Amino acid sequence: MALSAKSKTKKKRSLFYRVSAWLHLWLGLASGIVVVIVSLTGAALVFEQELRVWLQPYQTAESHGKEFIEPSKLKEAVMKRYNLPAISAVVYQGKDRSAVVPYYGDRSKFQLIYVDPYTAKILHYQLLDKDFYRIMLLGHYNLWLPREIGKPVVAYSTLIFVITLITGLVLWWPKKWTTNTRERAFFVKWSGNFKRVNHDLHNVLGFYSLAIALVLGLTGMVYGMKWFSDAVYWTASGGQKSERFARQQSDTTLVKVSNIPDEDILFKNLKAKGEDLNTQILTIGYPFGKAGAWSVSLIPELGRRMNERSQSYEQVSLKKLDKKPDNGGDKMMRLNYDLHVGSVGGIWTKIIALLVCLISGSLPITGFFIWWAKKQPKKQKEAKTKPTRQMVTAYRSV
């Protein structure tokens, strides 16, 4: 009886292993190209802000001891220079950084204008669809396809990637832990032939990057799958449903009596409250439509949204509009961004995210070579045995 139970356990393990191997192979082949593109574009975006400052001179502006000028002056400079009917926001990126004034009114021509926040001098004009990092983001999010097509392809390919990571762990796990299996599991044998090195790169790097790759994959699914995003929000909030974004409205019956622009009052109020705008990212969003509301957000560090603070204000009266208190789901959604882009722990987690993106992009390639190498010996064997069979048949016919 004991032997029978042991035999059944081995059969179950063998079946589980075979199913995992089958899923790992065919799901990996099916999603491989998408995973490579998403991983490499993700790697290009990890250090976007740092590279922008290094490669794009218009991202910086020297303060010379001056303070930021009011947002209305930046708005006027941009609207006058480019004959725009309006702007969407004014973004102060911190000390010695240029301000960004976006205009999203014409969906076929999104525009970003970089302005010196100390003098209102125009530094650079950028069509958003011509920006390198925007191009990378569109590839990362929807493979440069129409959103309704590319977004689900990326999202479900990411889900498949998560499954292949889990099945990969099953295949990686040695049946017996010996000195030899430990070396094969944890180290790359660089002195081996191409087949061995390729196998080790797939096996070993896949294991070391597994946990972070799972985090990147799962947080990416939040942006691509509504049902998954709702499930994460529901879990983190303790059973509350995620509310769809709704623009807050202002009382349109109020009459303005002050000559000071609303955005300048909001800007001065922040400074009066002691907010250090030199070390934070301030976004003043203009009202959308006649009944729209002002939006103000502060982020302590560019690229990290966990500690973002935002508030909406009514036009004219600048009264604070009611805001639903943040629950665990709201905090999780902000943390999800930091986890996905690798900024949650600063520069070191960004470096880790970059390396894992590169490894993730390599896994479908090394996996393909493993599959291809396994196919080749069978063909070569058949080619060698075929003439022999023909000779035997000929001999018998004689």
- Distance from C-alpha of 130 to C-alpha of 108, rounded to nearest angstrom: 12
Q: How do the domains of the chain map onto residue ranges?
A: 13-49+140-239+348-378, 62-117+245-323
| DSSP code string of 158-210 | HHHHHHHHHHHHHHHS-SS--HHHHHHHH---TTS-HHHHHHHIIIIIHHHTH
Residue 267: the pLDDT is 96
pTM over 0.95: no
Sheet holding 99-103, edge to edge: 122-127, 111-115, 99-103, 89-92, 281-285, 294-299, 309-313
Residue 106: the pLDDT is 60
Per-run averaged pLDDT (10 residues), the chain, 398 residues: 56 77 91 96 94 93 91 96 92 94 76 95 91 94 94 96 94 87 90 91 95 96 94 91 72 74 94 90 91 91 79 89 85 93 91 96 94 72 52 42
Residue 14: the pLDDT is 78
Residue 392: the pLDDT is 40
Compute how many other C-beta atoms are within 10 angstroms of the C-beta atom of residue 222: 21
Residues 6+ apart with CB under 8 A from 202: 363, 366, 367, 370
Residue 301: the pLDDT is 74
In 3-state terms the chain splits into helix, strand, coil percentages (rounded to 5) of 60, 10, 30
Q: Which of 342, 337, 199, 317 shows the shortest CA–CA distance to 249?
A: 317
The DSSP secondary-structure symbol of 319 reads P
- Distance from C-alpha of 345 to C-alpha of 334, rounded to nearest angstrom: 14
Residue 253: the pLDDT is 67
